[in-house]
Amino acid sequence: ALEESVRAAEALGLRVTARYHEPPRVPGDVALPFAQAVTEALNNVRCHAGTGHAYLTVTGDSGRLVVTVVDRGRGFEPGSGGGGLGLTRSVHERMRGIGGHATVDSAPGEGVSVELRWPR
């Protein structure tokens, strides 16, 4: 499901450097919403970051699935509303809905890092 998210972003013109490091298997009812959150994070890079390149890292950490999407784009000031509805609805809410967690780190001119973890 994650590879499909990457292929979809690439089909829309985003270059994605992806690294997969022994991710754990997850239940099907978790895989789809997790991949949809990744798709939204990649779409945010494509639409808002001002860069055509994203970095995706997938790992297993003590049985947890951890996916990080990073860009080196324009970033935003946390708390300024720069996170927008896509991050709130399509990333944070999806992750909460499957018992996971999303963390967003950004600063103006420093890009954005979105970390998704399941289970929380």
Q: Which two tokens stand for residue 14?
A: 């985003």
Give me the architecture of the 2-118 domain, per CATH.
Answer: 2-Layer Sandwich (3.30)
pLDDT digits (tens, 9 = 90+) for 7-29: 999 999 999 999 999 899 999 99
pLDDT digits (tens, 9 = 90+) for 55-68: 999 999 788 999 99
pLDDT score at 89:
75
Rounded Cα distance between 26 and 78, Å, is: 31
- Contact at 8 Å (CB) between 99 and 37? no
Q: What does pLDDT average to over the chain?
A: 92
